[in-house]
């Protein structure tokens, strides 16, 4: 490595004076070229901007909202207000289940994110999908994300009561159980503070409106900030 940078930046013979003489102008040009090369050689590397993959369903995609009002861009803006420059990728697909998420996960991980937020399970619960199937899908996702080298945040989901107490108990245990087994950070309930509040949801009662998204972002941003190494 010794001297390599200077050798690559060495002035060509054309910088020398005609007839082999070294005129004052040529010397100044050589000096200026050397300064430029040294500046480039010792310039600090650009700071790494963390990439956060927000991997979910319509709650992530921003169903019924303008694109810039969805959870991912508003999370990115909230992080920036804390002095954290991160790029939050909206990988939400409306209607997606844990099975659909598992099927597209490898493609989503191709961009090598630093952090993956997994926010799936709501549609599984609404459709009454077997909790054992949901658990298996999430288990596989966690292991794939871990093998990719990315950090992970699991956003929990709770089942509605209409499928019965047995179903709800089995479903609601999935997220804390997996978080404990794999040592994954868990935010217990993605819709905490918003669910069942008409003023924070769209007319369907399922998807947060802009005010509801603001509540979610305010609650979850400190958790994400800690995971990307910024102030919480």
Q: Which residues are catalytically annotated? A: 58, 204, 207
CB half-sphere exposure, 174, CA atoms < 13 A: 30
| 3-state SS assignment for residue 51 | strand
- Answer for the pair 125, 91: CB distance below 8 angstroms, yes or no: no
List b or e across 8-31, with b for residues whose CB sees 16 or more CB atoms inside 10 angstroms.
Answer: eeeeeeebbeeeeeeeeebeeeee
Element (H, E) at 165: helix 165-172
On whether the CB atoms of residues 167 and 131 are closer than 8 A, the answer is yes
Of 223, 215, 228, nearest to 71 by C-alpha is: 215
């Amino acid at each position: 490595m010794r001297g390599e940078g200077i050798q690559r930046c060495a002035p060509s013979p054309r910088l020398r004076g005609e007839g082999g003489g070294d005129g004052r102008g040529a010397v100044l040009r050589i000096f200026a070229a050397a300064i430029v090369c040294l500046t480039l050689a010792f310039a600090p590397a650009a700071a790494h901007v963390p990439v956060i993959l927000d991997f979910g369903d319509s709650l992530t995609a921003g169903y019924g909202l303008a694109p810039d009002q969805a959870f991912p861009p508003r999370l990115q803006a909230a992080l920036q207000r804390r002095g954290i420059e991160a790029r939050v990728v909206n990988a939400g697909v409306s209607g997606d289940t844990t099975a659909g998420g598992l099927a597209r996960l490898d493609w989503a991980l191709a961009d090598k994110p630093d952090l993956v937020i997994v926010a799936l399970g709501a549609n599984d619960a609404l459709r009454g999908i077997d909790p054992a199937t949901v658990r298996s899908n999430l288990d596989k996702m966690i292991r794939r994300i871990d093998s990719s080298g990315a950090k992970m945040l699991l956003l929990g989901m709770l089942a509605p009561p209409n499928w019965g107490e047995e179903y709800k108990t089995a479903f609601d245990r999935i997220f804390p159980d997996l978080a404990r087994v794999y040592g994954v950070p868990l935010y217990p309930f993605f819709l905490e503070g918003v669910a069942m509040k008409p003023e924070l949801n769209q007319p369907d009662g399922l998807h947060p409106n802009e005010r509801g998204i603001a509540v979610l972002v305010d609650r979850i941003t400190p958790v994400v900030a800690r995971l990307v190494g910024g102030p919480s």
